[in-house]
Amino acid sequence: MFDIASVHRNESGALRVCCTTPVNVTSVARIRVRRAAEWFTCDVVRRGKDSLETLFRKTGADAIVVADEPLRVVLRANPKQPVWFHPGMALPRIAAMRGGQRDRLVRVARIGRGDVVLDATFGLAVDSLVLAAAVGDTGRVLACDSSWLLVRLFQYAQRYEGHLYPSLQPLLARIEAHCGDHVAVLQQMSDNAVDVVYFDPMFRHPLHNPSSDLESVRGLANPAPLAHDAWREALRVARRAVVLKERPDSGEFERFHLHPDKPRAKFAYGVAWKETAYERT
């Protein structure tokens, strides 16, 4: 482990990232921190008895990866809400599906076994896991997010933390996540390449729940509204449908000529069917 004076920038772009151990450093944590440093192409900073606040001051980092299990990313801008991979709401949603209920997203988008879905706003992978359960072992979930750190964190969990979620291991393996802006990703894909494209951009007006998982990723997430270019490309790439999740009163459904499935709910889904005659039996 090295003491370093400064922290370089990695593929996360503007964010300066370093990694360190938890305060109670064990031999496993030492191995994990070296692995994390390689994974995030960043330097290791000696923890000693330093608080993360002190480390932020000493290093000038914007984000510190703490080599715990699960791995945590702590942002200088929001140190009280670390980001780590965990299935969150995917667990009860998948349990309900396994119990015979149909998930609202899956039902609205008519996702079925064998489908290939592009989750174009991957975030914390919650919806992707649900989609992976819906498409089954003959389907696939492709995913992208413009946050390199979020995608890398998920890929780390796929590779090293699957044992923490044994019931989800086959679903984790079914997701292929890439880092990139979805407009660029879609532009590289051929016509009708997937069955459904799904967008869940950051809400224009956040929900009033500052402790929610999504609030913790705000510092990493791309806050831009969905672009018309993205919508147009998605309609070309999707064989069947393009789905948008938003707050019903956001104005976004009107902007894309969609009808929210629940106009009075906290959030809603709108679907553009590629061929309006399409009906899944």
Ligand X SMILES: C[S@@+](CC[C@H](N)C(=O)[O-])C[C@H]1O[C@@H](n2cnc3c(N)ncnc32)[C@H](O)[C@@H]1O
**Contacting positions for ligand X (CB under 6 A):** 121, 123-127, 144-147, 150, 181-182, 200-202, 214, 217, 221-222, 224
Beta strand pairing status for 72-75 and 63-66?
Answer: antiparallel
Retrieve residue 127's tokens.
Answer: 């919806």
Nearer to ligand X, 162 or 225 (CB): 225
> Of the two residues 78 and 222, which places its CB atom closer to ligand X in the complex?
222
Which residue's CB comes closest to ligand X? 123
Closest CA to 242 of 194, 197, 185, 210: 197
Nearest to 111 by CA among 128, 125, 96: 128
String of DSSP letters for 48-63: TT--HHHHHHHH--SE
Q: Which is nearer to ligand X, 45 or 220 (CB)?
A: 220
Q: Where are the beta strands (DSSP E) in 89-156?
A: 116-119, 140-145
At residue 3, what is the residue type?
D
Q: Quote the CA–CA distance of 73 and 33 in Å, as a whole number.
A: 12
**What is the closest distance, in whole angstroms, from the C-beta atom of residue 201 to ligand X in the complex?**
5
Q: Looking at beta carbons only, is 37 or 177 nearer to ligand X?
A: 177
Q: Which is nearer to ligand X, 58 or 236 (CB)?
A: 236
Q: Which tokens go with 71?
A: 């791995």
In whole angstroms, how close is the CB of 123 to ligand X at the nearest point? 3
Token pair 């999740």 is found at 245
The CB-of-266 to ligand X minimum distance in angstroms stands at: 13
> What is the nearest approach in angstroms of ligand X to the Cβ of residue 125?
6
Q: Cβ of residue 257: shortest distance to ligand X, in angstroms?
A: 20
